[in-house]
Structure 1
Amino acid sequence: MTTWPTGVRGLAWGADHNPEQWPESVWAEDVALMRRAGVNLVSVGIFSWALIEVEEGRYEFGWLDRALDRLHEGGVRVDLATATASPPPWLTTAYPEVLPETAGGVRLSHGSRQSYCPSSGVYREKAVALARALAERYREHPALAAWHVGNEYGCHVSRCFCDRCAVAFRAWLRARYGDLEPLNEAWGTAFWSQRYGSWEQVLPPRATPSLGNPGQLLDFDRFSSDALLELFTAERDVLREVTPGVPVTTNFMVTWTFGALDYWRWAAEVDFVSNDHYTRAEDPERHVELAFSADLVRGLAGGRPWLLMEHSTSAVNWQRRNLAKEPGELRRNSFQHVARGADGTLFFQWRQSRAGAERYHSAMVPHAGPDTRVFREVERVGAEYARLAELVGSTVEASVALVYDWQSRWALGQPAHPTADFSYQDHALALYRALWRAGVTVDFVPPGADLSGYAAAVLPALYLVDDATPYERYVEGGGRLLVTYLSGITDGRGHVHLGGYPGAFRELLGVRTEEFHPLGEGAAVALDDGSTARVWTEDLRTEGAEVLASYADGPLAGVPAVTRNDRGDGAAWYLACGLTGDGLDRLVRGVLAHAGVPRGPEGVEVVRRRGERAGAPVSWLVAVNHGGGDAELPAAGVELLSGERVTGRVVVPAGGVVVVRGEV
């Protein structure tokens, strides 16, 4: 099976290209500018359904034929979309049952994108038919490098609550539970007189007078992720049938804005993992979240190279304040993704739109044209990527694992938890930020993954845990494990482990919490080691664990807040409070030191990729300096961007990048 876009030489570099938005007189200039910028891969046709199937069953491929021919003549490979991301108005008008419904029963209309219900048989039939027509038309086209199914599944309609989804949800539940008694037990329907006596009574979690059932909410999240995945695999299977040698992907959204799909399940269904990522413009440390997301995508790819399908050259159009990127930020962002395992980075989009909802979203060719700072930076990075072809296929090594769980994220995002101030994503990112500041490269792994290859591992709020045995085995074998509050609280159904918190992890951690003590809005408490905690505290008792820090004030003064329990050849830490800033950094660095993990340089992001060159093992040090002053690093080899030999030290300019090839 092919697992990378065919015919792409070196690192992939390009964009989402939308020739249908422009008169054909512009297309020749586009290809000329692509060659000038070093573009070698573009996505085409993502939102083109209405222009390909102009009415039901009538296809007009002429414009797409000409666009692909011109790209091929210019030496640009094509990631061809199935165009099913946005049903055309003729479809939703003729078949209004295709449209999705909100939990409150409001049917959404066409007029933007993703206006379809994932359980709609009509949508699936029409989408699969279009995918087949495209595959049969272009299976021999010389520009075809990969298939791009849909687009950002679940971005706008991640959950639909219509009657068709009710039927599909029941079928999903039948497959999961068999009959109603296990369902009633799993959902705890004895509470509030919710027991179901027939399948017809079971509904999606629509708007109700009060709080919904947590088990129902969690299972509906699982179902909804699976329902969208079935849409993807339906198209994918047709493409594999017609074009078996062409790899198939869809663009994930592993970013701070989105968490609706369980990408651990999705990653197993694509031929190569691709992702869209956009930074939060007003976050001064947005490059840290970028690193978090890139490492998480590499984890989804199983450590193999992956493709950044979209990011922005400058401002986006959908944040409250769409700030332009700083000079050099486009370049730094691109190299960050490459450092963390991407074998290519593409943008949305090639040419900035004149009309439509995204007309103020930046592009490789801005409204002002190629005589601009953005395009000059695009040209520079394109030329630099051409010098880095030898990185293709190499991998990233990491000594620390972070367990990330979308299902725990869903469960903790439900209402009626001890505090509304907790965010799973923010919590995981805070721990990652402490690891990033320590200069440590992180692998993301799913719950239950084998951790034996890692010196240390972090479990941020692993809420849904049936069995802690894999983590106990890891610690006993010599691993160092940091477990945070809100871990092990419930089993996979959402039923609380009785006997005290943190439930499944009590024995491993040697602690027992009697009661949660979340803090009031904006409140903070001090710890006796000088740290500060916000959002969360617990009334904790030790049962064998060593106390590392206790509360210095507040109602829990003197109560343990951070502990360590030595077990077997390893140790397990418990963070029972919302440590912030320097306190969290010190804790994480203490765990790393105990595990013998060396710290990296401060103030500059450094990652190593490893592979082979001319049959010999080599490594590439990729360093990105986000600061305002030059940084100096130990290194030896050849700096590939300049071609200069490095003997002992290399300077990373302020806001700059270096890539040094050295022998292993």
Structure 2
Amino acid sequence: MKRTLSVSGIAYGGDYNPEQWPEEVWAEDMRLMREAGVNLVSVGIFAWALLEPSEGVYDFSRLDRVLDLLHENGIAADLATPTAAPPAWFFRAHPEALPVDRDGRTLSYGSRQTFCPSSPAYRQAALRIAGALAERYADHPAVRMWHVHNEYGCHNAECYCDTSAAAFRTWLRTRYGDDLEALNTAWGTTFWSQWYYDWEEVLPPRATGAVPNPTHRLDWRRFCSDALLSLCRAEVAVLRGAAPEVPATTNFMVMPAFDALDYWRWAPELDVVSNDHYLFSTDPEPYVDLALSGDLVRSLAGGGPWLLMEHSTGAVNWQPVNRAKKPGELRRNALAHVARGADGIAYFQWRAALAGAEQWHSAMLPHAGTDSRIWQDVVRLGADLAALAEVKGSRSPADVAVVWDWDARWAVELPSQPSAEVRFLDRVRSWYEPLWRAGVAVDFVRPDADLSAYRLVLAPSLYLVDDAGAANLTAHAARGGTLAVGFHSGMVDASCHVRPGGYPGAFREALGVRTDELFPLLPGETRALTGGGTATLWSERVRLAGARAVTAYADGPLAGVPAVTRHAHGEGTAWYVATHPDAATLGELLLGMCAEAGVRPVLDGVPEGVEAVRRRGEDADYFFLIDHGGDGARVRVPEKATELLTGTPLPDGLVEIGAGEVAVVRVPR
């Protein structure tokens, strides 16, 4: 049973850490939260040391007062289990629970998430504090959701200690049916004399003198994700045991810098899917990654609404250079998340800290106080979200699916690939971006997902795919759909073994091609393409086996060899993009596929620089129009529409968007 968050309208708020401030400040916090329109805050995330000052001894007096105060002021609490930051007394009692890195160094406490995920002592202590919180606050009227832990795996996704080694062996015995020969076969241990004769010989992939075994490393990534998932499941079970009606969530980190957890496995365990997302200063167009992340999180949520648990009002504190946001960017970022399915917008954090590791991280209430642009923007955003209350619960249908798989991501970035320049997220984003620019709605799917709702399925980077996933994707084309596969896909099976017989492995037959040798390109090296455009990063010697060439290399050692092919497969079409074309050429190619498959943008006639996104309610469509170009725009929308943020009727079907502004248009159906 999925439980829902009970908050009126769209949730709005952030991490609230009143323990960092004198109690006389709390009344001001409540007044300013009401002024900003805050209706949900996360509390207690890093309060373990104060809630349990010594083992089994609790002090809930401060938290009691905070929760009562929130309830009195009509603000709901997302109450956290504080298990991301065990206190110092725990590590003094259990030094064996400290994590060990790949080089064998034991890391010290004094920060957050400095624990071994496989530590029995940590699990026992975490479940004890979670149980004490659940028992005390299960019926508190302020508590509307459980916030389990915080950013699982952010700093301790991998621990290489002996306890983790034993847990890894247990996980492997389950995976391989307690059959050591099956493990040896899966890992290909006849290579380099790595054969194991006893389970005790199997270790984590610690630092060695040469290249690690790829399947060993891949299974380790799978284990590490599952080890943390086991902790999450255990905490959720404790909380539900005490409060079966209160929904539980934990904040994912679907953003470029983090790839430690297989969130397809995590999402079904939670009532509400939540995400943390931060922009990177080095990205000239970070709003593209924001959109990609939002679409992926919505897809993890089964196409339904989700919560943005953390983002920033301005600068963060953890990049080499931490820059403030541009004028209007706070609002554009937040509403872009709403456009892509977020029914809640929250920040880290409510009040900027004066001390500690994140003292230079922006907040809703900055160091400058209310006499600041950030505060003005925060108050304005609260009013915007109140005006968008009716959007809550609406969905975002799409005709295009992009295949995303964490196993494939981990595998393609293992050492000793044909090219270390081939990175999963780069490949996915390069295919996603032209669709985003064109206003084409996109979902993300697993390789084994139900694809019946999609006209076009794209697999930009699927180096590893199991037999079932490959069959599912090719069957989509056979049934009359369109499938497009990127280079270096289908190459290895679920055990990371190369599929023999030529490339692209699992997709050869459906694509109607066969490659016998790969020719990855050096950084800066290019190849001309027939019909115009250039290619970088990758080339391969493709032979046609039923497909026809759409584009070929115009120079270099593969001149005349197909670079892009099209093949009739069953009732549908299968494309192979065997190189990395320049952005304009790739965009033209992908949008041509969209047109051929009958895929249209969510709204026609949207000018360049304006992002157009649709959410669909029961009786209306909601079009979000976000001006990233900074020039403003006039966009034609269906007649009888209303701009929700201002309440302005649009009888002539024209909406004016100011420079750097956002419009949200309601169109009755």
**TM superposition score normalised by structure 1:** 0.98
Amino acid at match of 1:434: P
Q: Deviations over 1:457-480 (max 9, x none)?
A: 110211112222212221122111
| CA deviation vs aligned residue, 1:605-651 (integer Å, no higher than 9, x gap) | 11111123xxxx21111111111212222223111111111122212
* Structural mapping, 1:255-404, within 5 Å: 255-404=255-404
Aligned length: 659
State the 1:305 CA deviation: 0.7
Cα shift readout 1:515-547 (whole Å, capped 9, x = no counterpart): 111111221111112121111111111111111
**Contact preservation (8 Å) 1:2, 1:245:** no
What is residue 224 of structure 2 aligned with on the other side? 224
Partner amino acid for 1:475? A
Q: Which amino acid in 2 is paired with 1:212?
A: P
List aligned pairs for 1:154-169, cutoff 5 A. 154-169=153-168
- 8 Å Cα contact 1:12/1:41 also seen in 2: yes
2:587 aligned with 1:581, yes or no? no
Of residues 505-514 and 643-652 in structure 1, the stretch that sits farther from structure 2 once superposed is 643-652
Q: Which residue of 1 aligns with 2:659?
A: 654
1:420 match: 420
Letter in 2 for 1:187: W
- State the partner residue of 2:215: 215
Unaligned runs of 5+ in 2: none
Matched with 2:110 is 111
Q: Shift in Å at residue 114 of structure 1?
A: 0.2
Question: Match for 1:493: what amino acid?
Answer: S
Contact in 1 for aligned 2:607/2:633 (Cα 8 Å): no
Deviations 1:198-242 (A, max 9, x none): 101011101111011111101011011000000001110000000
Instruction: Name the CA distance, whole Å, in 2 between partners of 1:618 and 1:546.
Output: 43
> Any idea what SS the aligned residue of 1:629 has?
coil
Tell me, what secondary structure is at the counterpart of 1:268? helix
In structure 1, the partner of 2:82 is 83
Equivalent residue number for residue 481 of structure 1: 483
Structure 1's unaligned 5+ residue stretches are none
Runs of 4+ in 1 over 3 A off after TM superposition: none
SS at match of 1:167: helix
Alignment of 1:178-257 (within 5 A): 178=177, 179-257=179-257
Range with bigger deviation, 641-650 or 321-330: 641-650
Residue 94 of structure 1 is matched in structure 2 by 93
Change (3 A) 1:656 1:320: same
Equivalent position amino acid for 2:646 in 1 = S
CA distance in 2, matches of 1:551, 1:399: 31
1:578-605 Cα deviation digits (max 9, x unpaired): 1221111111111111111123534211
Residue 2 of structure 1 deviates from its aligned partner by 5.1
Query: Quick one: distance in 2 between partners of 1:315 and 1:4?
Result: 32
Q: Secondary structure of 2:269's partner?
A: coil
Greater alpha carbon shift after TM alignment, 629-638 vs 368-377: 629-638
Q: 1:142 is paired with a residue of what secondary structure?
A: coil
Compare 460-469 and 571-580 and name the one that shifted more.
460-469
CA deviation string 1:139-187 (max 9, x = no partner)? 1211001001111101111111111111111111111112101100000
Q: Residues of 2 paired with 1:449 and 1:361: CA distance?
A: 39
**How do residues 592-631 of structure 1 correspond to structure 2 at under 5 angstroms?**
592-599=594-601, 600=604, 601-603=606-608, 604-612=610-618, 617-631=619-633
Deviations 1:243-278 (A, max 9, x none): 111001100000011011000000010111000000
Matched with 1:644 is 648
Contact 1:490–1:497 (CA under 8 A) maintained in structure 2: yes
Match of 2:20 in 1: 21
Q: Does residue 1:433 correspond to 2:459, yes or no?
A: no
Secondary structure of 2:368 counterpart: coil
- Distance in structure 1 (CA, Å) of the matches to 2:540 and 2:459: 18
8 A Cα contact 1:627 1:655, kept in partner: yes
Q: Which moved more, 1:467-476 or 1:498-507?
A: 467-476
Say whether 1:541 aligns with 2:539: no
Superposed CA RMSD? 1.0
Equivalent residue of 2:132, what SS? helix
Tell me the SS of whatever aligns to 1:396.
Answer: coil
Q: Quick one: distance in 2 between partners of 1:342 and 1:395?
A: 10
Q: Which region of structure 1 is more displaced relative to structure 2, 332-341 or 280-289? A: 280-289
C-alpha spacing 1:602/1:554, structure 2 compared with 1 (3 Å): farther
- For the 8 Å contact 1:639–1:645, the answer to whether it is kept is yes
8 A contact 2:474–2:483 mirrored in 1 = no
Paired amino acid for 1:236? V
Conserved? CA contact 1:282–1:323, under 8 Å: no
- AA partner of residue 571 (structure 2): D
Amino acid of the structure 2 residue aligned with 1:152 = E
CA contact (8 A) 1:439 1:602 kept: no
Q: How does 1:56-71 map to 2 (within 5 A)?
A: 56-71=55-70
Partner of 2:54: 55
Cα distance in structure 2, aligned partners of 1:651 and 1:478 = 41
Instruction: Please tell me whether the aligned partners of residues 624 and 664 of structure 2 are also in contact (alpha carbons under 8 angstroms).
Output: yes
- Which piece of structure 1 moves more, 624-633 or 133-142? 624-633
Task: Using structure 2 for the length normalisation, give the TM-score.
Answer: 0.97
| Conserved 8 A contact 1:476-1:569 | yes
Residue deviations 1:101-142 (CA, integer Å, cap 9, x gap)? 111111111111101101000000000000000011111211
Task: State the distance in 2 between where 1:84 and 1:102 align.
Answer: 21
Letter in 1 for 2:611: E
Cα distance in structure 1, aligned partners of 2:345 and 2:194: 50
**Could you say what secondary structure the match of 2:101 adopts?**
coil
